[in-house]
Amino acid sequence: MASTDIASIYAGALRNTRALEKQGLEQMERQLSGLERYPDYAAVLRRHVGTTRTQIEHLDKALASLGESPSTLKETVTSVAGSIGAAVHATAQDETLKNLYAGYAYQYDQIAAYRSLAVIAERAGKSDHASMFRTAVEQETKAAEEIAALIEPVTQTYLDLTLSGAKADS
């Protein structure tokens, strides 16, 4: 049976969010290698890779403050899931568009995770952590907005390349 004390709930939420961030980091890094024809998209991902690395460091510090460590099993499972998703998208003609859509949705998954984590941190008496997670919500919201602004221009570039016979994906 799962533990029901707040410290265990908080540690589990931290591990889950960290695994989610690691999965996102791996996916963004994989995508960057195929975005030569989409420099604005690549720039957004590069910026968010840096933000994500910082967020993972914050999650590690929060875990360490509880005497806990990341879950290798969770990270392995989410990494495999991310690799499968990337492999499926890579076989599609419109890989770049599918990755863009997935990245957009993924930002909202992270926003929800950090909003929830802030509440759990508050309940666990870690208001300094909660503040850090609210900042992460703002960062993820900004990234979601940046990706949303790319949907039309990336689609247009994809169409221009594809219809001209040029390679549109990696």
In one-letter notation, the amino acid at residue 6 is I
What CATH number has the domain bearing residue 46? 1.20.1260.10
Asked if the structure places residue 86 within a domain, the reply is yes
How many domains does the chain fold into? 1
pLDDT for 71 equals 63
Asked if the structure places residue 82 within a domain, the reply is yes
Q: Which one is predicted more confidently, 4 or 143?
A: 143
Asked if the structure places residue 90 within a domain, the reply is yes
pLDDT for 158 equals 96
pTM for the predicted model, two decimal places:
0.84
User: φ, ψ for residue 169 (rounded to 5)?
Assistant: -125, 170
The pLDDT tens digits for 70-127 are 865 444 544 554 544 444 444 447 899 999 999 999 999 999 999 999 999 999 999 9
d(C-alpha 34, C-alpha 97), whole Å: 12
What range defines the domain where residue 144 resides?
Answer: 6-163
pLDDT for 3 equals 61
What are the tokens at 21? 């961030």
Asked if the structure places residue 125 within a domain, the reply is yes
Asked if the structure places residue 1 within a domain, the reply is no
Asked if the structure places residue 170 within a domain, the reply is no
Asked if the structure places residue 157 within a domain, the reply is yes
